[in-house]
Amino acid sequence: MFLFLSEILNRKVIDSQGNAVGKVLDLRAKLGELFPPVISIRVRSKKDREIMSFRWDDVASINENSIKLKPEAASHTLDISLREKEILLRDEVLDKQVVDTHGAKVERVNDFHLLLAEGQLRVVHVDLGIRGILRRLGWVKYVDAITNWLFAYQIPNKLLSWKYIQPLSHDPGKKALKLDVTLRKLSEIHPSDLADILEELDRRERSYVFDSLNVETQAEALEETDDKTRASIIEDLPEEKASDILEEMEPDEAVDLLQDLPDEKKQELIETMEEEKKEELQELLEFEEETAGGIMTTDYISCLQTENIGRAMEIFKRSDDPLDNLSYIYVTDEDEKLVGVLTLRDLILNPSEAPVNSLMKREVVKLKVDDSLEQVAETFTKYKFLTIPVVDQQDRLEGIITLRDGVEAIFPEFGE
């Protein structure tokens, strides 16, 4: 039998003799299973208006008018306080925002769809639609009658399986999210969708969701989030945690974020980082924002011209840089000057013993670190490359600009 929470709330509770005990105030569910079971009901006493709690095992039957308790049922006052992974459906989730990890968006819960089977009551869906509101107001049958008469149509339920729901309600005492088994789903959402979710939430709820993610997912989401939101998130984090996230981000994205922070906060975060990452970001911060150096990343693959294809392939295999940074392998001399470029095709089709300098293309399209964004755009437009290397005045390789970063620098709305 399927029931809605709105049909259970305020339903009369009677003891085994038929005497009124009170009315249902809320249901308590235990998270951790795909469809959480209801483990107790909260009841407001008819006599003294006190709140009592009965285990769901104490429920003998449910009918249209009442919930009947078993003869041995007794109020459990200690049950009133919530334990870990327990949640009150009405108090903590109903009318609250939740993350729909299926549609990657934030929704409002208007009702719960419950399944009563083999004596257990389980949460199976949430109702996110207007029908849930009408049901709670007691207007469903009247609205159905009107819409059926006028349009031969009935407003449908908008039910979403609980397995796709991430509640945003929190325990005021512990100040922590009550997470269910779908926590892993948040980490599986595409970073762009996760960024959209973070932008929809208010500052407090955003903090709860963001803190529930692992560092790698946090970094990926921040790279896709708008400047204002990600600066707000970083400013709310402890310095050490914020530094860890910045170290996981792409260098150019981390620099963009740091430039949006107050100078004092920016310096504090840089000083907390590991030495190698700190030096890398400090070097990038020295470049003007509106230049090729200001938007380049130092995540690229390079090899020496004296090496062979086998060695270049080893370097490629060890790289954990983003895929769009791996389109080309840049070749340098012993002084780090850019002298050529290889493609992935060169690595795949040639024997490992073949020398790099015999296969590399020596005429390399490149940008200078102080070139303007207009020059960056013109170069990408003319040559249609996925990445373009950036060199200093002595032709030493400093970084690369990806096509995406180049487009976003000229058209910021592209990244929004």
pLDDT of 39:
92
pLDDT of 204:
76
Task: Determine how many CB atoms are found less than 10 A away from the CB of residue 131.
Answer: 22
Give me 6's structure tokens.
């709105």
pLDDT, averaged in runs of 10, over the chain (416 residues):
92 90 92 88 84 89 89 64 77 82 79 92 92 90 90 88 69 40 60 84 79 87 90 91 92 90 90 89 89 92 95 90 80 96 93 95 95 92 92 95 85 58
pLDDT of 13:
92
pLDDT of 173:
41
pLDDT of 331:
97
CATH architecture, domain 2-141: Roll (2.30)
CB-CB contact of 260 with 231 (8 Å)? yes
Residue-range domain boundaries for the chain: 2-141, 190-286, 295-415
Domain 295-415 class, CATH top level = alpha beta
pLDDT of 169:
47
Separation of alpha carbons 80 and 52, rounded Å: 7
Strand partners, 90: none
pLDDT of 166:
65
Separation of alpha carbons 388 and 380, rounded Å: 8
Asked if CATH classification 3.30.43.10 holds for the domain at 190-286, the reply, yes or no, is no
